[in-house]
Every structure is written in structure tokens, then in C-alpha cells.
Structure 1
Amino acid sequence: MPLAPDLNGRIALVTGGSRGIGAAVACRLAEAGADVAVNYRERTADAEAVVAAIAQTGRRAVAVAADVSRGEAVAAMMRRVTDSLGAPDILVNNAGIALIRGIDDLTEADFDQTIAVNLKSAFLCTQAVLPHMRAQRWGRIVNISSGAARGAGGVGLHYNASKAGLEGLTRGYAARLVKDGITVNAVAPSLIETDMVKAGLAPTPARIPLGRFGTAEEVAQVVLMLVGNAYMTGQTVALSGGIAFN
């Protein structure tokens, strides 16, 4: 069995795909043979750079701007993706925000925005791709969670709640879609080497037993594994460098 799935003929949609984990996932999916829609909200140049990198692999790609926390924007994005590439067979719900707040600084607006972007967006995008996946009786959905779903984390309780909700959403969809040939899983990274992590959340990897931050590429490897595995569903795969064990 090959280590990477053969995704030739498949269409993938990656939300929040303009940089970091999303960009790494989009490129790995393309390397495995998929045509990829790269969703972004504001970083047009970054998204176009990911599309250009995918084009180097010989696969088709399109950058699609949309605020995936809004239903009408998701519907418009799906029309654009379907017209440009075809209906998605693979969905990676990666879009998210991490507003670092203490309990006394957290506002209702912060809480609502975090739930909308980190959790509601996954619901909206999943609902949008299900008709096609069900019709063909094949689909792969991977949600990007966080170790904060089960631990204290450093962002704030609003972030904890959004990621714990995302893992509940993962299990709920998995249980209801397993008979349709659709798998739904999550990946929960902790302390991946991003600008946000190094700038304030964890300036050094001192608390990681492995002795370094994780990489976006390592997260993408797990996403590819989940896309290629037809038997695993409803699971959360943690990447923490030894910080925590399931």
C-alpha cells in the first residue's frame, strides 16, 4: 500500500489555506493528485502564491476569497469552486482565529467571533459539501482542531470551547455519515511553528518534550493519512511532541 493516497480525479477544498497549516495541506493534497481550491479571507497574495505552487505540480488550483463563518459567503464560495474545478470530494476545515485573551479581558464579541470562525464555519462548509459526497458515496472531511480542546491551552477559554466543539462536531458527523462512505476525522496539533506561536503563545519550545515546535508539513502528513484511510472515522489524531498522550 502506498504511503500517500492516490487522489487523481479528486477535488479538495481547504479553508484558511493561504498560509501555515492550510497552505501545507493544500500543497500536499495537490502532490497526491488532487485539484485544490484554496480558501482565504484577506491574504490574496499569499493564497495566489499557494495556487502558483500547486500549478508547479501540474494540478489545477483556484484561490477563493470568502468569510466561511457566513452562510451566504460559503454558498457563493461553493458555486465558484464547483464552476472552476468541480464539486469537492475532500474538505479540510482549517480556517480559524486565535485571539489571545484572559478571562477578565474576554468580551462577548471575542467569544462569538471565535465560535463563528472556528466552529460554525466547519458546520457551514460540511453541510455545503455533503450533497455531492453522499451522491457519489465517497467523501473525506478533516477538521483541524487543537490540543486546547482537551487541555488548558494558552489562547483562552473561548478557543478551548471552539476546538472542543469542533471535535464534538467531528464525532457527530462521523456517526451519521459512515454508511454514506464519508469519513470525518480531526487533527489536533499543539505548538506548531507559526508566527503566532513564536511571537507570544510559546516563544520557545522549552515545554515540548521533543525539544522543538511541530511543523505545518507534519500536520499535513497526518491530514493525508486520514484522507487515504477508509476505515478510520470519528477520531482525533493528536500531534504534541510528547506534551500529552491520549
Structure 2
Amino acid sequence: MNILISLSLCLLFSASEKQLDILRELYEEGRFREAQQKLKEIAPSSSHAAEILLYKGLLAQDARKSITHFQSIIKDYPQSKHRIRALFLLSQYHFLKKSYKKAIAAFKQIVKSETETPYSGQTCIWIALSYEALNDTTRSMAWYMKVNSADSISYTIAHKALSNLKELKSIYSIQIGSFQNKESASSLTETYSDKGYRTWLAITKQKGIKYYKVLIGEFDNKEKARGFSKLFKQKEDIQFWIVKIRKLK
């Protein structure tokens, strides 16, 4: 009887492993609908629980369900080899939701992992991008510099990003308007340029929407910008803000 039970378990494990192999192949080939169907056919298995959760997350059509599956792997299977991938995907989700501080905290958990992972170089780049989004250039550059040259693709990306950052400088300016319509921004720019001010346009994006900011002057520090703003306020009846801008040197 014991022999029959053992044999049955071996056959069940073998069948489950074959089903997982098919699932992996379907996913890698981008045949996601077939992969979803195959996932439904795979019986629950304690030995593959983390991997099954991973594919449930990858194939879920609802982002919230995906995140729930990834969080389950991180919490319930801390020793699983799939934990790092789940953590990486969760970190990317935070970044795409513009929760940059959460993204940084999650990505840093990967960095703290004692084992070298395929995500090491990519993780440093994502952390650098998160700091860049928070306008923290110093930390952003520091993380780009952490990318190991052994990871040639990540190293090339980091090196180029680092070069671009070094070509930027921070200045302060007086913002007198912000428009989605370029013609309106250009009109205001021309009005104050005719008055003798050094007026210029800066293009920014917020939540995917392009804005044209009308700016006056370029100052090395905030104190100089404040000094100019006092004189500007005495002469002009228009609302304005002192803003920090990054532009090419």
C-alpha cells in the first residue's frame, strides 16, 4: 500500500512538473491566453506554490490582483527563488503609479538581498530613475554609478543616463504662467519680452500632459531669484512663483 501511495505521489509530481514546463514555455512565447488556460489546469502544489502565484500575478488582467499575488509570495515564501522577481515587479508597479518613495524602498530590498540576481543592474537603474523623478540628482547619479560593468546592457544605459544628468544644471526662475496651449504661452512670453524681460519657455510633463511654462530670468540660486522677484512685484501686476528648473548647460 505504501509503495502504491509513493508511486501515485511521484506520478502526480511528474505530471504537475510537466504542466508547469508547458506553462513556462507558453508564457515565454507570449501566448498568454493559452498560458492562462494552462494555469487553470495545474493542480495546487506546495512545492510549486510560489511559482504558481507568480504566474497568477503575471497573467492577471487586474493590476490589484497581480499585486496581491506578488505580495503573497514576498510575505509567505521568503526563501523562494521567485520572491526577488515578485519584489521587482511590485517595485515597478509603485514606480509606474508615481509612488517613487515606495518604489525606492521596495527596490532597495532587492539590493539588500545577499545573493546576486539578474535584476541587480536593472534595480540600480530603477532606483536612480525614482530619485530623478523626485528631483534628487545627487542620489540619482550615485545609483547609476553602482551599476556593475559586468551587466553590459544595464551599464550602457546607466552610463548614458549619467552623462545626460551631468549635462544638466539647476537654476531658479520666475514663473508667470503655465499653459497646455503653446500659442497662449508664446503670447505671454512675447508680451513680457517686449517689456525688456529675458523671457523663455520650458516644456514639462505632468501625468502625461504637456505644459508650457512661461519663465523670466535665470538665477544661480534662490536668493538671487528672490531679489529679482521683489523688483518685479513692484513693477508688474501679475501672479508669479519662484521655481527650480533643470536645463542643459
TM-score by length of structure 2 reads: 0.28
Structure having the higher helix fraction is 2
For the pair shown, the structure with the greater C-alpha radius of gyration is 2
TM-score by length of structure 1 reads: 0.29
Which of the pair has the greater relative contact order for Cα pairs under 8 Å at 6+ separation? 1
